[in-house]
Amino acid sequence: MTRIFSGVKPTGHLTLGNYLGAVRRWAEVDQHRAEALFCIVDLHALTVDHDPGRVRRLSRQAATLLLASGLDPEQCTVFVQSHVDEHARLSYLLECVATDGEMRRMIQYKEKAALERKRGGSVRLSLLTYPVLMAADILAYGTDEVPVGDDQTQHVELTRDLAVRFNQRYGHTFVVPRATRPEVAARVMNLQEPTSKMGKSDDVGPGVVYLLDEPETVRKKIMRAVTDSGQDVEYDPEERPGVSNLLEILAACQGSDPATLSGAYTSYGALKKDTADAVVELLGPVQDRHKQLCADPSYVEGVLRDGARRAREMARPTVDSAYEAIGLLAPSAG
Ligand code: TRP
């Protein structure tokens, strides 16, 4: 059976962008068609300046929200990265396969390191080695498919390169994975800045709808979304990014097509109102389930404990064989 692995980094609250762009598809499609693992990648949250309490809270919240969004522990494995030692164990071996130049060429590293320096901060070494840890996340599980957004495809390419190189040098050990781009997932943009993604890490609240936003907040944010000059409601992401983003969101909520939808509107106001209604309706059940799960923290903890146990069992043999293949002496049993 196809194996799927994807990760959510607990660096911010989950957004409508995360939900429509990824999580909903994991719940509706991926967990049913494949053997899927969804990981709260908390170690990755430590690569930039972080607040320990916040990382812990966001990790728990992300797990709870994934379950509230419909990930079913009977259908897939939901777990926290730091609960499974194999990630860090394998990461070190892959650091011995990756090169310094390869790491420094990563676009996300260059961007984030530049930003960090501009702020006068220092760049953590883990920010540079982060893609190797991500490769370990993926390769430890014999993953076939990695559903990720565009910003992560370079990291998955690197993962492939490392897998091929390791296999060539030390014998076949890893499945070579590929990035998949879900066909129907919506690309949700920031409501105030519709040319950039609605990411969870950017702290510009007014343009980002969070999964746990109150209905009133959701409405306010959508009604205040920037639109484009002009009057027509047209789907044209290049020329009309603001309106197109609203169409995209509404279409994703309704399971329709943004270009077709545009024909039904003659004003921005009506489009915004319908989009706000649709998003409030979409998030309602997720928020209700989230509330129920929060009232029963031992359930979520149990899911994560079982998930980690299952993940460990899957990863262990692959990581052990990598240790052996690369030349490390196996500890003797007994
Ligand atoms: N780097 C990913 C991001 O920032 C998160 C991630 C970590 C991930 N490990 C992964 C995604 C493995 C897919 C597979 O979004």
Residue range 72-99, pLDDT digits in tens: 999 999 999 999 999 999 999 999 999 9
Which pLDDT value is given to residue 48? 92
Token representation of residue 150:
């565009």
- Decide: 330 and 323 in contact? Cβ < 8 Å: yes
Task: Determine which residue's CA is closest to atom 13 belonging to ligand 1.
Answer: 6
Task: Determine which residue's CA is closest to atom 8 belonging to ligand 1.
Answer: 7
Helix extents (H) in 69-170: 86-95, 100-104, 107-118, 125-139, 153-170
Token representation of residue 135:
């490769």
Which pLDDT value is given to residue 276? 98
What is the average pLDDT across 225-240? 89
Token representation of residue 242:
């603001």
Catalytically active residues are: 112, 197, 200
Instruction: Please provide the average confidence, as pLDDT, over all residues in the chain.
Output: 94
Which pLDDT value is given to residue 202? 56
Which pLDDT value is given to residue 133? 98
For the cut 60, the answer to whether the pLDDT of residue 271 exceeds it is yes
Task: Determine which residue's CA is closest to atom 14 belonging to ligand 1.
Answer: 6
pLDDT tens for 115-173 read: 989 999 899 999 999 999 999 999 999 999 999 988 899 999 999 999 999 999 999 99
Fold adopted by 3-181+297-326? Rossmann fold (3.40.50)
Residue 245 annotated as binding?
no
> Considering the domain 215-292, what is its CATH architecture?
Orthogonal Bundle (1.10)
Residue 59 binned pLDDT confidence (cut-offs 50, 70, 90): very high
Q: Is 134 in the pocket of ligand 1 (CB under 6 A)?
A: yes
Report how far residue 163's alpha carbon sits from residue 145's, in angstroms, rounded to the nearest whole number.
14
Q: What percent of the chain has pLDDT over 90?
A: 88
Residue 228 binned pLDDT confidence (cut-offs 50, 70, 90): confident
What is the average pLDDT across 25-32? 95
Q: Is 90 in the pocket of ligand 1 (CB under 6 A)?
A: no
Q: Is 152 in the pocket of ligand 1 (CB under 6 A)?
A: yes
Q: Is 18 in the pocket of ligand 1 (CB under 6 A)?
A: no
> For the ranges 10-14, 179-183, 328-332, which has the lowest average pLDDT?
179-183
Residue 147 annotated as binding?
no
Task: Determine which residue's CA is closest to atom 9 belonging to ligand 1.
Answer: 134
Q: What percent of the chain has pLDDT over 70?
A: 97
To test the pocket of ligand 1, the residue of 130, 137, 146 to mutate (highest count of ligand atoms within 8 Å of its CB) is: 137
**What's the 149 CA to ligand 1 centre distance in angstroms?**
9
Q: Is 250 in the pocket of ligand 1 (CB under 6 A)?
A: no
Report how far residue 186's alpha carbon sits from residue 226's, in angstroms, rounded to the nearest whole number.
19
**Model-wide pTM > 0.75:** yes
Q: Is 307 in the pocket of ligand 1 (CB under 6 A)?
A: no
Residue 232 binned pLDDT confidence (cut-offs 50, 70, 90): confident
Domains 3-181+297-326 and 215-292 share a fold: no
**What's the 81 CA to ligand 1 centre distance in angstroms?**
11
Domain chopping of the chain, boundaries: 3-181+297-326, 215-292
Which pLDDT value is given to residue 37? 98
For the cut 90, the answer to whether the pLDDT of residue 235 exceeds it is yes
Instruction: Please name which of 78, 105, 89 lies closest in space to residue 137, comparing C-alpha atoms.
Output: 89
